[in-house]
Structure 1
Amino acid sequence: MVFRRNGACRWSGLGGLVASFLLALVTGYAAGPAGAAGEDRATLSDVLPQVTLTRDGITAQLSMAYPESNATMKAPKLEISVGGKRVVELFGEASGWETPQGTVGFYEMDPTNDTPEIVFTSYSGGAHCCTQVYVMSTNASGAWESIDFGMYDGEGGEFSDIDGDGLIEMSTYDNAFLYAFDCYACSTAPMMILTARGGRRTDITREARFEKAHRARLVSMNAGLNAARTEFSPGFFAGWVAQKALLGEGYDAWETMKSAYRGYRDEGFESCPTDKPNCSERERGTYPFPAALTVFLKEQGYL
């Protein structure tokens, strides 16, 4: 990758400050803020150990039950019925706590079908991990499918209408950046924007319509820039450089990082060489932060 001031060569990526979410397991895990498209959602708790939502003839029931694979720990169980016929049965993650946990909600995400999507989240437990996200959607033949959206740090993500087009997107963070160059609390991570299309998880992070959201995230990240310059923070700069790159400001971000890096006592990071980012284990070595960051951004698809 060549850095150019004229913007002819741009990086892709986006970024955001990573907040550590502490889940209130006593009252149940709450989903992120609702979007503007009128979706319905519910959360399990001690008061509501079972919830049922109905929309457009589709019923989604969420409760706690023992999976066949684990007779010692209950996990959230989602059952979806259409016209009285069960079309989906899926277990989420067991947290290891007795408290009911999990969320279910109707969201309009995929304009290619005529049914709403159903989002099912469950929390695995732990200080910084992890929320499993599934999206139920109908495919081209009308059959219901479970789409594994992945495991994400903290609360997992927020479902909202980011660009105001009446459809819901999931915004989250690229968890690969957490702990990559520094401690969890010292790290920032690029934002990811996901949706469901045709029965698949689709990454729409880099679509131009989300530039306003990316710019807002950069503004929030910039609040930590002076501190990261004063006491060089590799964990901060990894995510910040990726965010700036999304907005066509990769060159300036790299120059700012290099200026702050001068004088940093760099003990090096384990990495592949820059000319061979996908190297074998025996080819890996210890490299200065700028070189290791270059390889990392290539590996993660930001360069």
Structure 2
Amino acid sequence: MRALINQSLIGLAILSMTAVLSQPVKAEVIAGQSGNVRAEISYDKPEEYQYKNVRLQIIRAGTTVLDKKLPQESEYDRPVGVFTDNKLPVLDLDGNKEPEVIADFFTGGAHCCTYSLIYRYNSQSKQYNQTRHEWGNGGYRLQDLDKDGLPEFDSRDDRFAYAFTAYAASGYPLQIWQYRQGKMIDVTRRYPKLIYSHASEQWQTYMQARQQGDDGKGFLASYLADKYLLGQGQDGWQRVQQAYKKSDRTKFFADLRKFLRETGYIR
């Protein structure tokens, strides 16, 4: 009798598992709205850390203008809402009274990467045009930094990751972007007070890293880049050269100067 009961229980467990597995995967949705424009990203999540059937839909005044499956670099390439409280940003980025849609994605991995697909409405073609912007490891925050009613993308320069040291010890210069007429524009130099504050933070982080036994090269590089943004490159070099006395200082300084020139900080 006990064997029959056990067999029955096993059979019920298998049936229950089969029923669960056979159920359709429920689509998850990230949505946002501004005025009469509503946008949704839907996707299936059949397994943990895997995402399929990622689709963007934009509806204007009750009419679906865009409905397309978004390309994924891999099954781990997934939509995220971590930058905007799990909402799909739908807002006017360039002041033309027409809201843009920002779809954020994470490609997976320990440190990389995030990017945004920004959709702008073309009133002549009555379609949405797409712009892609790479954020690397850093992501962004939407903030109206100049108080003009339009948000900026407050971010960091991810090109400095691993440039002179390990990822955890890398520093990143401030980077601020505006979206204007379908293009992302680097406007960091327009915000000297923010750059100065960021440079001070990088210097303090360098001092803390040095106290903990790290050479701090990553934070010195970021600090010096900020100083160049302020037009104070010469002063920055003097502080860096006085601070860094390691045996590889000659090579480090040469590599740093070359890197800052290649990335546009030294003009």
Q: Same fold by TM (over 0.5)?
A: yes
Matched, 1:152 2:133: no
- Superposed, 1:137-216 pairs within 5 Å as 137-139=120-122, 141=124, 143-154=127-138, 156-207=139-190, 210-216=191-197
Deviation at 1:219, TM superposition (A): 3.1
Larger RCO, structure (CA 8 Å, separation 6 or more):
1
Secondary structure at the counterpart of residue 228 of structure 2: helix
- Superposed, 1:49-68 pairs within 5 Å as 49-65=28-44
2:157 corresponds to which letter in structure 1? D
Give the equivalent residue in structure 2 for 1:235: 218
Asked if structure 1 preserves the Cα contact closer than 8 Å seen for 2:172 and 2:222, the reply is yes
Deviation at 1:220, TM superposition (A): 2.4
Matched, 1:220 2:201: yes
Deviation at 1:217, TM superposition (A): 1.8
TM-score when normalising by structure 1: 0.66
What are structure 1's unaligned runs of at least 5 residues? 1-45, 67-71, 269-286
The CA RMSD over aligned residues, in Å, is 2.9
- Superposed, 1:112-151 pairs within 5 Å as 113-139=96-122, 141=124, 143-151=127-135
1:238 corresponds to which letter in structure 2? A
Asked if structure 1 preserves the Cα contact closer than 8 Å seen for 2:58 and 2:65, the reply is yes
Give the equivalent residue in structure 2 for 1:91: 70
Larger Rg belongs to: 2
Give the equivalent residue in structure 2 for 1:81: 59
Asked if structure 1 preserves the Cα contact closer than 8 Å seen for 2:65 and 2:127, the reply is no
1:194 and 1:175 mapped to 2: Cα distance? 13
1:125 and 1:135 mapped to 2: Cα distance? 20
The superposition leaves residues 97-129 of structure 1 with CA deviations (integer Å, 9 ceiling, x where unpaired) of 69x852311122102x22112111011122211
The alignment covers a number of residue pairs equal to: 228
Residue 244 of structure 2, aligned match among 245, 258, 261: 261
Structure 2 CA distance for partners of 1:146 and 1:242, relative to 1, 3 Å: same
2:242 and 2:219 mapped to 1: Cα distance? 14
Structure 2 CA distance for partners of 1:151 and 1:247, relative to 1, 3 Å: closer
2:177 and 2:69 mapped to 1: Cα distance? 21
Quick check: which one's helix share is greater?
A: 2
Deviation at 1:178, TM superposition (A): 0.4
Structure 2 CA distance for partners of 1:90 and 1:153, relative to 1, 3 Å: farther
Structure 2 CA distance for partners of 1:77 and 1:227, relative to 1, 3 Å: same
The superposition leaves residues 20-52 of structure 1 with CA deviations (integer Å, 9 ceiling, x where unpaired) of xxxxxxxxxxxxxxxxxxxxxxxxxx9992244
Give the equivalent residue in structure 1 for 2:255: 292
2:197 corresponds to which letter in structure 1? A
Deviation at 1:85, TM superposition (A): 2.8
